[in-house]
Amino acid sequence: MSLNKINLDAHPLMELAAFTSTFPAPLGETPSPAWLKELLAPQAEVPVPSPDDEFRNAVRRMLRHGGFKPSGRSKPASEYLIRASGSGELGSINAAVDACNVVSLHSGVPISVVDLDLAFPPFRVAVVGPGQSYVFNASGQEMDLEGLLCLWDASGPCANAVKDSQRTKTHQGTRQTLSILWGSSQAPERAGQAAKWYRALLDRLGATTREVGLSAANSPAS
């Protein structure tokens, strides 16, 4: 799928970055190399600033703006990664997810990864209204999405800065992905800086990346 644009509903605190990746082979045939797995360690040397309390609070304020409560089991995914890495629980999944986790862990920017063959246009980013949820893991657990800023495809919400939908997650046959970096306007350029490093890692893995345009939902089609 060729994805050129994602429409954005108005939101005063979000600053996103988005790009697609095409891998040279299915992820099941693309194991993460040792150098990538080593970057999953919290002490790894990386080219992005470590998240501090000010940045973490900025991300939480962005997610809280629509009425969602980003705490406890609903905290940003980047905060979960910090805890998991520090306790030795952060293991390798596949090359696409490992690259995502490395960048999110060290930059503090929550990141979603969507299989583009399992999601369908049009795509937009908007806060979810009452009564909507989705399954977020293979066990069938559901997440209440009310008030949370999410990526939507033609079938509804499919990813956010906390937990991505199970229906569009990567798998062994994945070849194309969409990555969304959930940055905050109160920490300008942080998402873009993280995206630049993220794409460099994917390039090293042999993937081809392409920036996706982000535009206000009421802007004329490009």
Number of C-alpha atoms within 13 angstroms, CB side, residue 41? 8
The pTM for the full model equals 0.94
Helix (H) or strand (E) holding 37: helix 34-38
Q: Closest Cα partner for 86 from 34, 38, 40?
A: 40
Q: What are phi and psi of 107, to 5 degrees?
A: -95, -25
Residue pair 214/24 in contact by the 8 Å Cβ criterion = no
Tell me how far apart the alpha carbons of residues 167 and 142 are, in angstroms, rounded to a whole number: 12
The per-residue pLDDT string of the chain (222 residues; one tens digit each, 9 = 90 and over) reads: 779 899 999 999 999 999 999 999 999 999 999 999 999 999 999 999 999 999 999 999 999 999 999 999 999 999 999 999 988 889 999 999 999 999 999 999 999 999 999 999 999 999 999 999 999 999 999 999 999 999 999 999 999 999 999 999 999 999 999 999 999 999 999 999 999 999 999 999 999 999 999 998 654 333
Query: Domains of the chain by range and CATH?
Result: 5-214 (3.50.40.10)
